């Protein structure tokens, strides 16, 4: 049995490599076009393309699976498609192109957090449980019948990168268990109850505005934003005429000296920011505009003496 694998980012690349190491025959890889990366905006193959090329697997680069892409994919006679964070929906013609269709590994417990950014929205919502879902792809937004789900607790201090790393490993394990049954025809997927989808919010794409910190919110909500937005697009706030990224923080239980949300002061053990309801956060790592990431203490130490610092 042959697999057509579609994916783009690093977690998808890790899954591709794991399937290869399990002994599955990957006949072709589909990934998005090379994109400009870094300050020099160099055109760079996706992580999935790089892994595929290292494994000598043929690669089709396309931002959507149209007739032209399908013509290329069909040359490799795959039986089943596996999609992990490819970044585009498949139309009916593409869905029907492979004998066993396409299965998707999604990083939430569907129908919760359908959409592009399930890991980040689980953190933003301060969910205590999340997980992975393997389901048959259809024309809807993550609405197909479910083969398997594996739940896991969200650890209190995890950011999006940490949680995605764990879910990637969990997803690889789940695929390893589900694929033999799917190939043999013994898998019996369970239809999702589409009548209840409106009760579940979508995990929409992240935006810079969503990543802006509202210091009038309580500290647990601010902390959730900081963790959810790391590593992309990074939580940020205004400091004077510039912006500053807040990369990491931790709960801080000691009372603050200023009740104004966004007020920053140097405590004996931390650089502390006042949040809503009199709560506070200790900020650990920041990145001022145009500079590298640094510890909050080093940043604060570099400010002019007697500077009153208020984030907005």
Quick: pLDDT tens for 220-243. 999 999 999 999 999 999 998 899
Question: Could you say which architecture CATH assigns to the domain 219-310?
Answer: Roll (3.10)
Q: What CATH number should be reported for the domain whose range is 2-199?
A: 3.40.50.170
Nearest residue to 4 (alpha-carbon basis) of 101, 94, 105, 80: 80
Does residue 235 contact residue 223 with C-beta atoms inside 8 Å? no
Locate CATH 3.10.25.10 in the chain.
219-310
pLDDT tens for the chain, residues 1 to 312: 999 999 999 999 999 999 999 999 999 999 999 988 877 788 999 999 999 999 999 999 999 999 999 999 999 999 999 999 999 999 999 999 999 999 999 999 999 999 999 999 999 999 999 999 999 999 999 999 999 999 999 999 999 999 999 999 999 999 999 999 999 999 999 999 888 888 899 999 999 999 999 999 999 999 999 999 999 999 999 998 899 999 999 989 866 556 889 999 888 889 999 999 889 999 999 999 989 999 999 999 999 888 889 999
Rg (CA), the chain: 22
pLDDT at residue number 195: 86
Q: Enter the tokens of residue 167.
A: 């879910």
pLDDT at residue number 257: 59
pLDDT at residue number 258: 65
Locate CATH 3.40.50.170 in the chain.
2-199
Those residues whose C-beta lies under 8 Å from the C-beta of residue 76, and which sit 6 or more positions away, are 2, 4, 27, 28, 58
């Amino acid at each position: 049995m042959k697999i057509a694998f579609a994916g783009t980012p690093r977690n998808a690349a890790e899954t591709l490599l794991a399937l290869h190491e399990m002994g599955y025959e990957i006949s072709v890889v589909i990934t998005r076009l090379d994109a400009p990366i870094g300050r020099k905006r160099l055109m760079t193959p996706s992580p999935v393309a790089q892994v595929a090329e290292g494994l000598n697997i043929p690669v089709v680069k396309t931002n959507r699976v149209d007739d032209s892409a399908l013509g290329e994919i069909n040359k490799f006679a795959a039986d089943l498609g596996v999609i992990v964070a490819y970044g585009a929906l498949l139309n009916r013609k593409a869905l029907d192109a492979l004998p066993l269709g396409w299965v998707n590994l999604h990083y939430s417990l569907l129908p919760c957090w359908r959409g592009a950014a399930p890991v980040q929205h689980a953190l933003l919502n301060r969910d205590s449980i999340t997980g992975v879902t393997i389901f048959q792809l259809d024309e809807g937004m993550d609405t197909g019948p479910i083969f398997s789900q594996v739940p896991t607790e969200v650890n209190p201090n995890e950011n999006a990168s940490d949680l995605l790393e764990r879910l990637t490993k969990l997803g690889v394990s789940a695929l390893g268990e589900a694929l033999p049954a799917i190939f043999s025809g013994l898998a019996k997927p369970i239809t999702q109850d589409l009548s209840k989808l409106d009760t579940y919010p979508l995990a929409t794409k992240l935006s810079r505005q969503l990543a802006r910190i509202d210091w009038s919110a309580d500290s647990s909500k601010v902390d959730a934003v900081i963790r959810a937005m790391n590593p992309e697009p990074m939580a940020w706030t205004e400091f004077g005429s510039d912006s500053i990224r807040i990369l990491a923080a931790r709960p801080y239980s000691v009372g603050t000296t200023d009740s104004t949300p966004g007020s920053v002061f140097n405590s004996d053990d931390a650089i502390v920011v006042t949040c809503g309801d009199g709560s506070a956060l200790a900020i650990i790592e920041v990145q001022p505009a145009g500079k590298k990431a640094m510890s909050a203490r080093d940043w604060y130490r570099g400010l002019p003496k007697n500077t009153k610092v208020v984030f907005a």
